[in-house]
A and B are shown apart, each in its own frame.
Chain A
Amino acid sequence: MDLRLWRQLNTTKQLVAGLALGGALTGLLIVFQALFLARIVSGVYIGHAQWHVVWPFSLMLLAIIALRSLVAGFQESWALRFSAESQTRLRHQFIHFLLHEGGGSETRPDSGALVTLAVQGIDDFEVFLARYLPQIVITALVPAIVWLGVVSRDWLSGLILLITLPLIPLFMILIGRQAENHSQRQIQLMNRLSGHFLDVLHGLDTLKLFGRSQEQSKTIYRQSEAFRATTMATLRIAFLSGMVLELIASLSMAFIAVAVGLRLIHGQIPFETAFMVLVLIPEFYIPWRGLGAKFHDGLKGASAAKEIFELMESPLPALQGGHVQLPQSGPWSLEWRSVSFTYPSRTLPALEDITLALQPGQRLAIVGPSGSGKSTLIQLLMGTYSFSGEIRVGGTPLSELDLNWWRRQLSWVTQRPYLFDGTILDNLRQVASDASTSQMQQALVQSGAWEFISQWHDGWDTQIGQEGVRLSGGQRQRLALARAFLLDTPVVVFDEPTQNLDLASEQALLDAMERLSKGRTVITIAHRLSTVTRADRLLVLQQGRMAQWGSPEELLRKPGLYRALVDAYQGRETAHAPLQADQVL
């Protein structure tokens, strides 16, 4: 098991200690329970004792049963509580790491995987702690104590149990491994077959258009039948492990019963002992069965935890800023000098040798396919990571600036703005707590958000998010713009919307962006040719390098990608297209 798991979560020590105590107690109670049961039964049967003789034992037995149930109840709630707490702590650490140290989701290979890890992975980890860990502790302790109870009364039965003991994990591993090999080959096939039904349902339109939808019920039957056949082939082996475990338990019970019975005939062993052993045998095997059943939960949770620890051990290098706050107010000139950056887990640089300069108040449009380094360029400007080369703001290197101050000079309107569950007003106050009511209304009007907010019954006191109004993509972006208006920073970064918005909202959004751009230095990650033509400077990025750089007019005169694009949009055959756009964009 992963050592980091123990180191990270202090409370698991408590959890394990508590569970161990409970497990040991359970084991002892099981032994005493068997002892008293045997005493009562043998008293009545052999000693012909009547109820008034055995009742103290009966009461003791009932008390032990109650105590055992109490321990089981405590153990369950203890495990659930501590696993929930550990899970909360791990998620807190993970979120804290992502917010303060890790890169944005755009820096990770797959943001979908990150979401799955933070939501499902940590839940799996909770199941691991709540279900698998207690079962391990119980399996380690209860059979051992039960065995001691048996062997203290009858060494021969103890010996039989001891002989069967290694058989259980041995067979479980042997058969488990074979089932794994077997299923490794089939797991993909099985996944595909079982997913076929949903695939067909989602593709129903396409099937109808090709006149192939009616015959699909036959295909579904065929695929499901194939799924059944392959699954049963795998299960046949998987069930074997269950059968072996069952067989070992049953046969050892049968063996012990016979062995004990034979010695009873010759009076070599008292009936009470024999009966007690018989009661204890099933208790010896029950925990193993539970462990087998929970094995998969354990595996999933442990691997999720491992993934999270690995992620948290590779933080991105943060930029250490200085103390300079520029005296004159912005906008300032911006200058990149041979800026290069490589993400720690990657071999190829995300940005390589970027050198460019912007005059105060100029507009820069950046164009390039996804993964070409557009977002990274902005992240570096914000001072998120340390990098090689230099970025200068008004002539001062970024590394000398007070980064907290610098980040307040810059706003970034992204495609997926983060909005809190709460009212519109709350969301604005979160970013600018000292803004006046009129300033906030001004910002909403400027961004075009007022248009839809004023139509709501509660205006800007309307709840948005999970329990309130669900906003459309265009509405969310207009709110994000309103925040930027409110922040009123000298430098603004836009991630131009690419979502399918309707004509009116798209135009409203672009108009608002145009208004916000006035009198500021603006960097736009552009997705529209019209945005590019309005910019003062154009940067074409390709795999982290500068493919083209200059003013749009300049670039229009030179052969190259930009000119080819403009020609194509205007329906002109391009005279010379040295670059196929397909290869660059």
Chain B
Amino acid sequence: MRLFKLTKSYKSLILMAFVFGAATVAMNLGLQSTSSYLIAKAAQHPGTILLLWTPIVAVRFFGTARAGFRYLDRYFSHDVTLRWLRDLKVHLYQAVEPRMGVLGRGYQSGDVLSRVGSDVDSLQNLLVSLYEPLAIGIIGLLMVLGIGLWLNPPIAISLTLMLALSGVALSWSAARVSQLSSQGLVDLRSRLSAALVQLLHGLSDIRALNLADRVEAHIDHLQERIQTAKRRLSRISGVYNGLSLFISWAGMWVVLQISIFEAERHQLQPVLVPVVALLALASFEIVSPLPAAFQEAGGLKRASQRIEELAGLPDAPQNARRTRPAEEVPSVVLNDVSLDANHASRPILERVSVTLAPGRHVALMGPNGSGKSSLVNLITGLTPFTGGRVTLDHTDLGDWDPEAARRCFSVVNQFPHVFHSTLRANLLLASPHATERELHHAMQLAGMQPLMKTLPDGLDTMLGERGTTLSGGEIKRLAVARAILKNAPILLLDEPTEGLDPLSERSLMEGLMEWARQRSVLWITHGSTNLDLVDEVVILTGGRIIEQGSPQRIAKHPMAKTLMDLALLPE
């Protein structure tokens, strides 16, 4: 597995974890065999206790050392797991970061990301739950073989064979059980949980339509089917469970019978018969973790394949790029730009031409689904476009270094991300060296003072996971503050007032346009209000520009009236 290259820096730690794990097993073998040897020897009534001194010390040593090694084993294997997790994450991020554009946008990319997340979750266990039991199994088997050969070859060979056999048989049947349980049941369970989610969200609907009994019957029916599947599964796991216990004890039994024969044939000292019995019993500890390990193996393999595939995707081309920054306020010109959707028949954008001259304020108005947001992603180089030309400061966008090009833009994107960190950290993202005054100024312009009053620790308040502590309007205001802090010459605003009431919207837009007087602004909106604040309005619908002109002219356009009717009241 190529991913293993990641463990370079702590190979020795992994080895230590394995060694300590094997030592734990060895100590148990030692404890069981020396303690049985001790009593076997004692039963010969030796004249003095001194003759038993060595086994007594050995028993105490193995007893204490086992606990110590177990602790070290767990400690090192967890430490190694966390190091591996760390490097895995970094590796994955470096694979995903340059390929975001290739991975696709919106739902599709969300899917990829959540899969990456769950793959990381399963791969993190790779070292501890798959490789360590395997390593210990092999080392342990060799140890048993070694000790056994020293006692008596037939016993050594039969014990090793029994161990190997039970390891393989149990692993195979465990994998089978988990396969059976995942068949059908997984599907049924996901259907049940989907039905439950729909039920809980649709409770009012169900009551209003008097559907409660039918819905209940539907859920009961699903549960009934799950129950049937589980009944079958419980029988299989019962059989498996009993079988695994039987195999390990029956293995001991077989070895015991052989040792009786060997003692009879004087090939084995009788004093060693009890030792062999307990050694055999203890040695099955070596193979007992194997079934669980193999149950995970399939999932781990799929996860690592997916990740290697991801890392193998082509990343954005890196040819000669302009990194020289633009002077003053650069122009942005879109010429016949088209963007084809992956699977839909209709393109997202069709021959769109817009010019954003330095210092101009342009509103791009259109209903939902008209392709407005794609335009922002395309100008900022997040999405590749399929036809036409975009130039920034008279240089083709493709000839720009994407990072350098993005330095020209302050963007409020459609779904700004709030990081699970402090408000300060979320703002400093836009400008790492911003002073306290600059932060407050930006927040004031974005209208964040009412929010600030409610935050217990001010700027140092933790914002919840994915910004769950903020409302939609507050998240947009935060994004506006970030855009102001970045202080770039071109302002790209994608629905910056979404979730705000019309009065707040007006004051925010007035403030922003005033602040951006020396800058260019492209303002994307699905409403037709406040258009008086811009120099020019472009109407985009169905991926095409149907009209552009002065705000006064556009206000009379029927689309403006339609959008007004559809405008949502603030929540």
Contact of B93 with A271 in the complex, beta carbons under 8 Å: no
**Secondary structure class of chain B's binding surface, majority of residues:** helix
Contact of B568 with A265 in the complex, beta carbons under 8 Å: no
Q: A322 — which chain B residues lie within 8 A by C-beta? A: none
Partner of A65 from B96, B208, B250, B529 at Cβ < 8 Å: B250
Contact of A265 with B49 in the complex, beta carbons under 8 Å: yes
Q: How far is the CA of A95 from the CA of B198 in the complex (A)?
A: 12
Q: B270 — which chain A residues lie within 8 A by C-beta? A: 44-45, 48
Contact of A267 with B45 in the complex, beta carbons under 8 Å: yes
Q: A199 — which chain B residues lie within 8 A by C-beta? A: 419-420, 465-466
**A416 at the binding interface (Cβ < 8 Å):** yes
**B411 at the binding interface (Cβ < 8 Å):** yes
Q: B100 — which chain A residues lie within 8 A by C-beta? A: 204-205, 208
B116 to chain A, nearest CB (A): 7
**A111 at the binding interface (Cβ < 8 Å):** yes
Q: A261 — which chain B residues lie within 8 A by C-beta? A: 38-39, 41-42, 52, 55-56
Q: How far is the CA of A569 from the CA of B506 in the complex (A)?
A: 9
Partner of A412 from B43, B193, B205, B273 at Cβ < 8 Å: B205
Q: A251 — which chain B residues lie within 8 A by C-beta? A: 60, 63-64, 67
Given known A88-B223, A370-B571, A417-B205, contact A247–B49 (CB-CB < 8 A): no
**B40 at the binding interface (Cβ < 8 Å):** yes
Closest A residue to B466 by beta carbon equals A202
Q: Which residues of chain B from 51 to 103 have a CB within 8 Å of any chain A CB?
A: 52, 55-56, 59-60, 62-64, 66-68, 70-71, 74-75, 78-79, 82-83, 85-86, 89-90, 93-94, 96-97, 100
Stretch binding the partner chain, chosen from A7-15, A135-143, A179-187, A222-230? A222-230
Q: How far is the CA of A418 from the CA of B202 in the complex (A)?
A: 5
Binary B-proximity of A466-491 (CB < 8 A = 1, otherwise 0):
10000000000000100100010000
Q: Which residues of chain B from 517 to 571 have a CB within 8 Å of any chain A CB?
A: 529-532, 541, 562, 564-571
A532 to chain B, nearest CB (A): 8
Closest A residue to B35 by beta carbon equals A257
**A1 at the binding interface (Cβ < 8 Å):** no
**A498 at the binding interface (Cβ < 8 Å):** yes
**B183 at the binding interface (Cβ < 8 Å):** no
Contact of B82 with A242 in the complex, beta carbons under 8 Å: no
Partner of A243 from B68, B200, B274 at Cβ < 8 Å: B68
**B164 at the binding interface (Cβ < 8 Å):** no
Q: How far is the CA of A208 from the CA of B120 in the complex (A)?
A: 23
Q: B83 — which chain A residues lie within 8 A by C-beta? A: 228
Contact of B368 with A73 in the complex, beta carbons under 8 Å: no
Given known A100-B212, A208-B382, contact A529–B569 (CB-CB < 8 A): yes
Contact of A44 with B263 in the complex, beta carbons under 8 Å: yes
Q: A106 — which chain B residues lie within 8 A by C-beta? A: 203-204
A424 to chain B, nearest CB (A): 16
Q: A71 — which chain B residues lie within 8 A by C-beta? A: 242
Q: B86 — which chain A residues lie within 8 A by C-beta? A: 220-221, 224-225, 227-228
Q: A421 — which chain B residues lie within 8 A by C-beta? A: 191, 195, 218
**A32 at the binding interface (Cβ < 8 Å):** no
**B147 at the binding interface (Cβ < 8 Å):** no
B284 to chain A, nearest CB (A): 12
Contact of B253 with A91 in the complex, beta carbons under 8 Å: no
Residue among B200, B367, B380, B466 with the most chain A CB within 10 A? B200
Q: A483 — which chain B residues lie within 8 A by C-beta? A: 209
Q: How far is the CA of A204 from the CA of B253 in the complex (A)?
A: 60
Partner of A568 from B212, B486, B505 at Cβ < 8 Å: B505
Inter-chain CB contacts under 8 Å: number: 459
Q: How far is the CA of A51 from the CA of B46 in the complex (A)?
A: 27
Given known A251-B63, A384-B207, contact A214–B97 (CB-CB < 8 A): yes
Q: Which residues of chain B from 17 to 50 have a CB within 8 Å of any chain A CB?
A: 31, 35-36, 38-43, 45-46, 49
Given known A118-B200, A571-B532, contact A264–B43 (CB-CB < 8 A): yes
Q: How far is the CA of A404 from the CA of B207 in the complex (A)?
A: 11
Q: A211 — which chain B residues lie within 8 A by C-beta? A: 403, 406-407
**B146 at the binding interface (Cβ < 8 Å):** no
Contact of B78 with A568 in the complex, beta carbons under 8 Å: no
Contact of A205 with B382 in the complex, beta carbons under 8 Å: yes
Given known A80-B238, A232-B78, A232-B79, contact A197–B120 (CB-CB < 8 A): yes
B86 to chain A, nearest CB (A): 3
Q: Which residues of chain B from 255 to 284 have a CB within 8 Å of any chain A CB?
A: 256-257, 259-261, 263-264, 270-271, 273-274, 277-278, 281
Contact of A530 with B210 in the complex, beta carbons under 8 Å: no
Q: Which residues of chain B from 197 to 226 have a CB within 8 Å of any chain A CB?
A: 197-212, 214-216, 218-220, 223, 226
A57 to chain B, nearest CB (A): 10
Partner of B249 from A69, A95, A232, A419 at Cβ < 8 Å: A69
Partner of A69 from B230, B242, B564, B571 at Cβ < 8 Å: B242
Binary B-proximity of A346-381 (CB < 8 A = 1, otherwise 0):
000000000000000000000101100001001100
Q: How far is the CA of A317 from the CA of B198 in the complex (A)?
A: 24
Q: How far is the CA of A225 from the CA of B207 in the complex (A)?
A: 52
Closest B residue to A248 by beta carbon equals B67
Stretch binding the partner chain, chosen from A325-333, A515-523, A576-584? A576-584
Partner of B113 from A198, A564, A585 at Cβ < 8 Å: A198
Q: A73 — which chain B residues lie within 8 A by C-beta? A: 238-243, 245
A298 to chain B, nearest CB (A): 19
Closest B residue to A91 by beta carbon equals B223
Q: Which residues of chain B from 395 to 442 have a CB within 8 Å of any chain A CB?
A: 403, 406-407, 409, 411, 413, 415-417, 419-420, 429-430
**A250 at the binding interface (Cβ < 8 Å):** yes
**A92 at the binding interface (Cβ < 8 Å):** yes
**B298 at the binding interface (Cβ < 8 Å):** no
Partner of B82 from A227, A264, A410 at Cβ < 8 Å: A227
Q: How far is the CA of A41 from the CA of B270 in the complex (A)?
A: 9
Q: A84 — which chain B residues lie within 8 A by C-beta? A: 226-227, 230-231, 234
Q: How far is the CA of A510 from the CA of B234 in the complex (A)?
A: 52
Q: B38 — which chain A residues lie within 8 A by C-beta? A: 257-258, 261
Partner of A208 from B90, B216, B406, B562 at Cβ < 8 Å: B406
Contact of B274 with A45 in the complex, beta carbons under 8 Å: yes
Partner of B571 from A103, A204, A262, A369 at Cβ < 8 Å: A369
**B503 at the binding interface (Cβ < 8 Å):** yes
Partner of A279 from B90, B195, B278 at Cβ < 8 Å: B278
Binary A-proximity of B179-191 (CB < 8 A = 1, otherwise 0):
0000000000011
Q: How far is the CA of A500 from the CA of B373 in the complex (A)?
A: 13
Q: How far is the CA of A564 from the CA of B193 in the complex (A)?
A: 45
Partner of A41 from B277, B406, B429 at Cβ < 8 Å: B277
**B15 at the binding interface (Cβ < 8 Å):** no
**B504 at the binding interface (Cβ < 8 Å):** yes
A567 to chain B, nearest CB (A): 8
Binary B-proximity of A511-546 (CB < 8 A = 1, otherwise 0):
000000000000000111110100000000000000
Q: A487 — which chain B residues lie within 8 A by C-beta? A: 209
Q: Which residues of chain A from 425 to 483 have a CB within 8 Å of any chain B CB?
A: 430-431, 466, 480, 483
**B450 at the binding interface (Cβ < 8 Å):** yes
Closest A residue to B117 by beta carbon equals A198
Stretch binding the partner chain, chosen from A303-311, A387-395, A501-509, A548-556? A501-509
**A338 at the binding interface (Cβ < 8 Å):** no
**B237 at the binding interface (Cβ < 8 Å):** yes
Given known A201-B113, A254-B62, contact A58–B257 (CB-CB < 8 A): yes
**B1 at the binding interface (Cβ < 8 Å):** no
Q: How far is the CA of A431 from the CA of B70 in the complex (A)?
A: 63
**A17 at the binding interface (Cβ < 8 Å):** no
Closest A residue to B65 by beta carbon equals A250
Given known A197-B120, A201-B116, contact A265–B89 (CB-CB < 8 A): no
Pick 8 A–B contacts, CB within 8 A, sort by A: A77-B234, A91-B219, A98-B199, A98-B203, A202-B466, A220-B89, A466-B190, A565-B501
Q: A50-B260, A565-B503 are in contact. List 16 more A-B contacts (CB 8 A).
A: A51-B261, A58-B256, A99-B215, A198-B113, A199-B420, A210-B486, A250-B66, A261-B41, A274-B43, A407-B208, A411-B209, A418-B202, A420-B218, A430-B209, A568-B501, A581-B504
